[in-house]
């Protein structure tokens, strides 16, 4: 990857399909609800992009990206996309893609072994956690054996925070509990794993100030600005992005729910200082990934 030549770097894209076979029972209904929430017809029509199609889309735009699946098999019943498959495809598109993986912390020591193997044998650079989809508090000590492996391997831990489109409008919210994704739970993780690079994904509604507090206080905590169109960013997020957190904010879209085209167009219209824009769009990612 020639980082100097990239126009931007997207720190938050999804490998959406659950596996390489047909969709699981209930997955169409889930994706249709997601499509309605994000006003994205692709999910409702079963037209979500493959990892290869995602690579082609980003290459056409000269934007690098992190891509990952989400392992929420235990809580949702949907098979995860194979971490190894995502990593192999990303490796074949290494000019544009950086592979992350996902492991449910409930897998304990087996999950920790998998994490080490994925880093060492497949070049995985980080791990995505979704506390609401995976049904756990990030500071639950049962997850620490996995964090320890990730920290020791020098990888990154990226956590969904705030409200989620997953299950939005569905009966009982599809069983998703928002309480797990309060970013304040990650303050404990940042204390207990001071060498673990942690990313709080998304504007953390309704806990935006908690997220900004943790990122300001803990040097190993960053924020990716994915999952929302920038036109809806709260003023306090823009204020912190322009000032004390300008080197800790990352461009992320939440592809395919939100496209980088939409995100970047709206980002161009908000009040971000000229000297801060390149930091958010690319340079902070370069530093965090050591590229």
Residue 38, pLDDT score: 72
Mean pLDDT, all residues of the chain:
92
User: What's the topology of domain 3-289?
Assistant: TIM Barrel (3.20.20)
What are the pLDDT digits (tens) for 30-82? 667 767 777 765 554 557 889 999 999 999 999 999 999 999 989 888 888 89
Structure tokens at 229: 């169109």
What are the pLDDT digits (tens) for 99-129? 999 999 999 999 999 999 999 999 999 999 9
Q: Report yes or no on whether pTM surpasses 0.85.
A: yes
Host H or E run for residue 67: strand 63-68
Residue 20, pLDDT score: 57
Statement: residue 24 has pLDDT above 70: no
Whole-number Å distance between alpha carbons of 259 and 253? 6
Residue 164, pLDDT score: 85
What are the pLDDT digits (tens) for 255-282? 998 999 999 999 999 999 999 999 999 9
What are the pLDDT digits (tens) for 142-181? 999 999 999 999 999 999 999 987 877 888 887 889 999 9
Q: Kindly indicate the confidence band of residue 245, based on its pLDDT and cuts at 50, 70 and 90.
A: very high
For residue 60, the tally of other CB atoms under 10 A from its CB is 9
Whole-number Å distance between alpha carbons of 195 and 187? 13
In a 13 Å sphere around the CA of 271, the CA atoms on its Cβ side amount to: 8
For residue 244, the tally of other CB atoms under 10 A from its CB is 12
Q: Are 87 and 155 in contact (CB under 8 A)?
A: no
């Amino acid at each position: 990857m020639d980082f100097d030549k990239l126009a931007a770097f997207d720190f938050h894209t999804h490998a959406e399909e659950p596996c390489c076979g047909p969709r699981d029972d209930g997955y169409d209904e889930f994706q249709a609800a997601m499509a309605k929430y994000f006003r994205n017809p692709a999910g409702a029509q079963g037209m979500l992009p493959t990892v290869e199609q995602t690579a082609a889309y980003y290459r056409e735009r000269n934007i690098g990206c992190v891509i990952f699946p989400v392992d929420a098999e235990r809580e949702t019943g949907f098979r995860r996309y194979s971490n190894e498959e995502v990593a192999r495809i990303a490796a074949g598109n290494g000019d544009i893609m950086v592979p992350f993986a996902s492991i449910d912390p409930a897998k304990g020591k087996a999950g920790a072994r998998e994490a080490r193997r994925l880093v060492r044998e497949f070049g995985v650079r980080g791990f995505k956690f979704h506390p609401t989809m995976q049904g756990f508090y990030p500071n639950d000590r049962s997850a620490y054996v996995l964090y320890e492996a990730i920290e020791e391997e020098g990888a990154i831990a990226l956590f969904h925070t705030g409200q989620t489109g997953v299950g939005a409008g569905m009966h009982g919210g599809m069983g998703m509990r928002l309480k797990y994704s309060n970013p304040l739970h990650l303050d404990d993780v940042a204390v207990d794993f001071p060498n673990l690079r942690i990313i709080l994904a998304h504007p953390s509604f309704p806990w935006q100030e908690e997220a900004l507090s943790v990122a300001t206080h803990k040097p190993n905590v960053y924020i990716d600005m994915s999952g929302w169109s920038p036109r809806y960013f709260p003023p306090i997020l823009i204020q912190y992005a322009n000032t004390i957190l300008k080197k800790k904010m990352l461009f992320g879209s939440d592809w395919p729910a939100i496209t980088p085209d939409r995100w970047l167009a709206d980002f161009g219209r908000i009040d971000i200082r000229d000297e801060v824009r390149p930091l958010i769009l690319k340079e902070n990612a370069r530093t965090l990934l050591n590229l």
